[in-house]
Amino acid sequence: MRLAFFLTIILLVSGCSKKQNDDGSKLLVHNNYFSVSENNRKLDSIKNNLQSDSLEIIEIHKDKRYNDDYHIGAIHFMISDSSKSYYLINYLENPVLMCGNLTAFSREDSIKIVKKNILKIQKSTAIKTNDIIQILKKYKANIVNNSQIPLQITFALKNDTLKGNAIYNIINFMENNKMSVYEIRTMNEQEREKISK
């Protein structure tokens, strides 16, 4: 539970960052392609600039025993290419976060999370990549839920770079609809296996 809270805080600090793009938008991403590694470098640069400007930012160090490659949010999308994707609903309510005496996060905890998420990935549903925004619209009330922290949306791309404006359109839609907690990474081995079937 504590890990979910920490991940949410990290994503609020990193995922919501915006800057003026070449096309005049305030999104961090390009409108004709998306690169996971380039995006991560930009987010790291923004974080470093905030630190050098001596602004106070919340920085939570993730436990090294946690495997980020298998993290999935409330709604998780696996994007094979500009036409084919998969999605799964992990949960539609914010998890209850409890403070107090919690046991330390262990390597076994991470293994359990990975195993559970692999089972969920195997049950994902095939969709057209263009349908991602329609799914986000369908679950908007659940995602935004009028609380301070919206549900986290996660994306896994088959390759580091996806050509076209799919990611730009998705992020533009999410930012304009207060879905500001999201993470984009490359696919793990089990996600690659799922999309290759």
Lowest-pLDDT range of 16-20, 50-54, 105-109, 179-183: 16-20
Give the pTM.
Answer: 0.78
Is pLDDT of 67 > 50?
yes
Over range 143-151, report the average pLDDT.
83
Instruction: Tell me which residue of 2, 6, 9, 10 sits closest to 104, measured CA to CA.
Output: 2
Please tell me the distance from the alpha carbon of residue 137 to that of residue 120, in angstroms, as a whole number. 22
Tens digits of residue pLDDT in 90-102? 999 876 665 555 5
For every residue of 146-159, DSSP letters joined together read TSSSPPPEEEEESS
Degrees (nearest 5) of the Cα angle 64, 67, 69? 135
Give 66 or 83, the one with higher predicted confidence.
Answer: 83
Tokens 């690169």 -> residue? 35
Tens digits of residue pLDDT in 27-41? 667 888 999 999 888
Q: pLDDT at position 62, please?
A: 60
Tens digits of residue pLDDT in 77-93? 999 999 999 999 999 98
Note whether 129 and 85 are within 8 A (CB).
yes
